[in-house]
């Protein structure tokens, strides 16, 4: 029935072929350097919804037990956990693979780290890399996955105008066409500058509104639903989000998209409460020299301690909510491409 309906819509069928070509062979990784699990690869070949998940959240997260794969499946999509397992860039890591990584001092891996980690493997030293949003986008794009659900984006750090600590997540969005669903960016970042930077990078930043009555919404700040900064774009449902993703692809613009999904109200931690905690965590990171890629994991762990673990349920809830949203978007997209 599916091939009949394709034949009846030559334009759509052309689009699909074009998408397949763009998505399966333009990635930077040759198949010999990218392992895709059989489940993920057959889902992609059949145009079933697939959601990429990052592994840094497991390897460098402060969240404890967290099963995001089940959330993706619950919403009808196939999960694809991305990371570098023993020097092999992999899309579709199993829970055992992730456990192996966690137990064997994985590195945190963004775009810059592939050369080192894969190079080490070529030199006979297989090490693991938990991929950040940046690293996961690189792998998702190479595998042909369009949608990625995660917690909070990296961004311009406070004082970033001097330190130049700007997450590689932002430049990745500028160059790699994957749609990232997050609860905005992490709340300890400089949010106005992060949004300025994303605008410069050409990234459409779109926030999900709760209802059609909301004409313009604020970009969310991870633990808080509002940041004081307006979101450039607003959508009201997953279909609209999927239409933007499809539009970007048809336009041939090789830039990622960011969809911000404010965390569920009942898990929100008031800004007044987080402000002091964030200030302390950021100050300690600076005093103790946690710069570069060590900064974000240090701050997240400190915030967990300073809130007596209260940040954890909020963090876990927002990730699950984003991943569910991502699965629904992937479902809508699969329908449009069919
Ligand atoms: N979630 C965590 N710990 C982390 C991150 C997420 O519990 O360290 C990551 C995300 O993978 C995000 C990255 O892409 O932090 C950004 O790090 P940086 O600020 O170094 O670019
Ligand atoms: Mn950084």
Residue 62: pLDDT band (50, 70, 90) is confident
Model ipTM value: 0.97
Average pLDDT over residues 166-188: 97
Average pLDDT over residues 305-314: 93
Q: Identify which of 172, 296, 298, 301 to mutate to test ligand 1's pocket (most ligand atoms within 8 A of the CB).
A: 296
Average pLDDT over residues 255-271: 95
Say yes or no to pLDDT of 64 above 80: no
CB neighbours of residue 291 within 10 Å? 13
Bridge partners, residue 288, by sequence: none
Instruction: Please give the Cα distance from 228 to 101 (Å, whole number).
Output: 38
Q: Quick check: CB of 318 below 6 Å from ligand 1?
A: no
* Predicted pLDDT at 1: 39
For residues 154 and 296, is the Cβ–Cβ distance under 8 A?
A: yes
Strands 129-131 and 78-85: antiparallel
pLDDT tens-place string over residues 66-121: 899 999 999 999 999 999 999 999 999 999 999 999 999 999 999 999 999 999 99
Active site includes 35? no
* Predicted pLDDT at 27: 66
Residue 135: pLDDT band (50, 70, 90) is very high
Residue 13: pLDDT band (50, 70, 90) is low
Say yes or no to pLDDT of 5 above 50: no
292 Cα to the center of ligand 2, angstroms = 5
Instruction: Please give the Cα distance from 219 to 204 (Å, whole number).
Output: 12
Residue 146: pLDDT band (50, 70, 90) is very high
152 Cα to the center of ligand 1, angstroms = 8
Residue 12: pLDDT band (50, 70, 90) is low
Query: What is the helix, strand, coil percentage profile of the chain, to 5?
Result: 50, 15, 35
What's the mean pLDDT when you consider all of the chain? 92
Residue 271: pLDDT band (50, 70, 90) is confident
Identify the sign of the CA torsion 28, 171, 126, 148.
Answer: negative
Q: Quick check: CB of 167 below 6 Å from ligand 1?
A: yes
* Predicted pLDDT at 338: 86
Active site includes 230? no
- Whether the predicted model's global pTM rises above the 0.90 cut: yes
Average pLDDT over residues 47-75: 94
Of 170, 219, 184, nearest to 318 (Cα)?
184
Q: Quick check: CB of 171 below 6 Å from ligand 1?
A: no
Q: Quick check: CB of 66 below 6 Å from ligand 1?
A: no
* Predicted pLDDT at 168: 98
Residues with Cβ within 8 Å of residue 310, at least 6 apart in sequence: 269
Instruction: Please give the Cα distance from 79 to 38 (Å, whole number).
Output: 12
């Amino acid at each position: 029935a599916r091939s009949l309906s394709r034949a009846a819509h030559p334009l759509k069928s052309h689009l699909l072929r074009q998408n397949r070509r763009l998505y399966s062979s333009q990635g930077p990784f040759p198949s010999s350097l990218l392992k895709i699990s059989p489940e993920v690869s057959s889902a992609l070949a059949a145009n079933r919804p697939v959601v990429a998940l990052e592994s840094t959240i497991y390897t460098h997260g402060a969240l404890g037990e967290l099963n995001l794969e089940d959330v993706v499946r619950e919403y009808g999509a196939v999960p694809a956990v991305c990371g570098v397992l023993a020097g092999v860039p992999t899309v579709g890591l199993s829970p055992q693979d992730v456990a192996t990584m966690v137990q064997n001092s994985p590195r945190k891996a963004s775009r810059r780290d592939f050369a080192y980690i894969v190079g080490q493997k070529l030199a006979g030293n297989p090490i693991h890399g938990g991929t950040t949003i940046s690293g996961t986008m690189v792998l998702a794009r190479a595998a042909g996955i369009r949608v990625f659900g995660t917690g909070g984006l990296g961004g311009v750090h406070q004082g970033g105008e001097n330190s130049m600590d700007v997450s590689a997540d932002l430049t990745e969005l500028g160059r790699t066409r994957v749609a990232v669903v997050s609860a905005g960016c992490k709340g300890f970042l400089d949010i106005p500058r992060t949004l300025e930077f994303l605008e410069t990078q050409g990234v459409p930043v779109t926030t999900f509104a709760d209802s059609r009555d909301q004409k313009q919404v604020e970009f969310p700040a991870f633990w808080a639903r509002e940041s004081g900064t307006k979101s450039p774009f607003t959508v009201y449902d997953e279909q609209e989000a999927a239409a933007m993703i499809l539009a970007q692809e048809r336009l041939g613009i090789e830039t990622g998209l960011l969809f911000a999904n404010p965390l569920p109200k009942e898990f929100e931690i008031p800004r007044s409460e987080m402000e002091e905690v964030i200030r302390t965590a950021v100050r300690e990171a600076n005093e103790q020299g946690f710069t570069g890629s060590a900064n974000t994991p240090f701050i997240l762990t400190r915030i967990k301690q300073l809130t007596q673990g209260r940040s954890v349920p909020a963090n876990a809830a927002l990730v699950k909510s984003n991943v569910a949203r991502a699965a629904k978007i992937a479902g809508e997209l699969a329908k449009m491409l069919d």
